[in-house]
Structure 1
Amino acid sequence: MERQLSALSDAGFSGAIYQDTMTRADMRGRRAGVLKERAELLRPTARKARETIIVATIRALALNSGPDLLGTLKAAAKRGATVRALAEGLEIPPNAGIDELSGASTAWDKARRNDQTADARTKGSAAAASKAAERRTKAVTIARPLWGLPSDEMPNAEIERRAGLSITTLYRALGRRTAAQKAAKRRGEEKR
């Protein structure tokens, strides 16, 4: 809901906003009767003025891409309203032909599939980033004591191999190697 309201605001829309809230059971049962605000938006009118119904996504317009979407577009057409779906860049005029209706149905189905996997994609990306950070931390822990050793004794390629990180990543994480080598040399001289 927040993304849709934000999309409408970003598009400069400032008119009346109709929004319905459905329970999980309503969505599963595809109970279009609970969409009171949508019914109000699409109610028949005797006005002849053209209007535009703007939705953030075609997905927000209907419960399914078949009868409900077509019924909604038909009701909008009876009002003389053009439906504009911002996310998909669709504009469905009141006199829409089969190509426009087919495009709307295809876009609705694509948006549905994206919605179904959005949470999983977000969680998967977060999990992958967390694992990568964990691996990087372990690798830096392996490389840190080797970083201060003289280069002829411990070449960059060997540190890279042992840690499993590129030398560029190690430089980003540990800083310049010459500085670490000088600090290690000073510590060694202090211990004598």
Structure 2
Amino acid sequence: MREGVVGWPVERQIEALAEAGITGPLYHDTMSRADKRGRRTSALIEREAMLRPTSRQAPEIIVVATIRALALNSGPDLLGTLKAAGERHATVRALAEGLEIPPGVGIDVITTAALAWDKGRRGDQTVDARTKGAAAAAARAAERRAKAIAIARPLWGLPSEEMPSAEIERRAGISITTLYRELGRRTAAQRRAERKERNHV
């Protein structure tokens, strides 16, 4: 597992591994903001420990939630990581992509892994951008609604013949339905305004 995988926070990676029934040692690389920006492979200390050379000949399986957690890019870093895994007689299994990359595979399987890495990056970046865009749009809509309500609130308690609801709707630029939902019934607001006026007399 590693931090900095767009669309795959560590919590999601842990959940994916747990759902797949994966047990055994977990290798978790933390990365600073500078490490992520600079795509510093030197920060992946846990990955280096997992892939260190060994004289053991027993086959191993390395499981990642997504192929993108394995490497910082789909080129030299991914190829170098798969090479190091192969030298340990380890098969790499990427759950999200349904990939199984055994040691000693041909270029076709390596190419498939690289393409899957790139496709995942593009897809997750698009989802991330959409999510941020939706949040920004919702924030702008909430701000517009708050401004409209601020315009309508002092008018809501005025007598209807003096200030018709349609005129409040026009001035605030928000539907009468939304005004009722946000401010309640006009008659209640008008009664409160009348009481306040009497108390000030």
Structure 1 length as normaliser, TM-score?
A: 0.70
Cross-structure match for 1:62: 71
Partner of residue 10 from structure 1, selected from 11, 15, 18: 15
Secondary structure at 2:52 match in 1:
coil
**Is contact 2:149-2:182 (8 Å) kept?**
yes
Structure 1 residues 19 and 157: alpha-carbon distance in aligned structure 2, compared to 1, 3 A threshold: same
Structure 1 residues 84 and 176: alpha-carbon distance in aligned structure 2, compared to 1, 3 A threshold: farther
Aligned-residue offset at 1:128: 4.8
Query: What is the rounded CA distance, in whole Å, between the counterparts of 1:125 and 1:34 in structure 2?
Result: 33
Q: Which amino acid aligns with 1:76?
A: A
**Is contact 2:78-2:114 (8 Å) kept?**
yes
Structure 1 residues 10 and 170: alpha-carbon distance in aligned structure 2, compared to 1, 3 A threshold: same
Partner of residue 179 from structure 2, selected from 158, 170, 182: 170
Once the two structures are overlaid, the 10-residue window that deviates more, 150-159 or 135-144, is 150-159
Partner of residue 101 from structure 2, selected from 66, 88, 93: 93
Query: What is the rounded CA distance, in whole Å, between the counterparts of 2:200 and 2:36 in structure 1?
Result: 74
Correspondence 1:14-93 to 2 at 5 A: 14-21=23-30, 24=34, 28=38, 32=41, 35-45=44-54, 46-49=56-59, 51-86=60-95, 88-93=96-101
* Unmatched tracts of structure 2, length 5 or more: none
Structure 1 residues 177 and 62: alpha-carbon distance in aligned structure 2, compared to 1, 3 A threshold: same
Query: What is the rounded CA distance, in whole Å, between the counterparts of 1:169 and 1:57 in structure 2?
Result: 44
**Is contact 1:90-1:104 (8 Å) kept?**
no
Query: What is the rounded CA distance, in whole Å, between the counterparts of 1:44 and 1:185 in structure 2?
Result: 84
Secondary structure at 2:63 match in 1:
strand
Cross-structure match for 1:134: 143
Aligned-residue offset at 1:144: 0.8
Structure 1 residues 39 and 110: alpha-carbon distance in aligned structure 2, compared to 1, 3 A threshold: same
* Corresponding position: 1:107 with 2:112: no
Query: What is the rounded CA distance, in whole Å, between the counterparts of 1:149 and 1:134 in structure 2?
Result: 25
Structure 1 residues 189 and 101: alpha-carbon distance in aligned structure 2, compared to 1, 3 A threshold: same
Q: Higher relative contact order by CA 8 Å / sep ≥ 6: 1 or 2?
A: 2
Once the two structures are overlaid, the 10-residue window that deviates more, 6-15 or 160-169, is 6-15
Structure 1 residues 104 and 154: alpha-carbon distance in aligned structure 2, compared to 1, 3 A threshold: farther
* Unmatched tracts of structure 1, length 5 or more: none
State the Cα RMSD in Å.
3.8
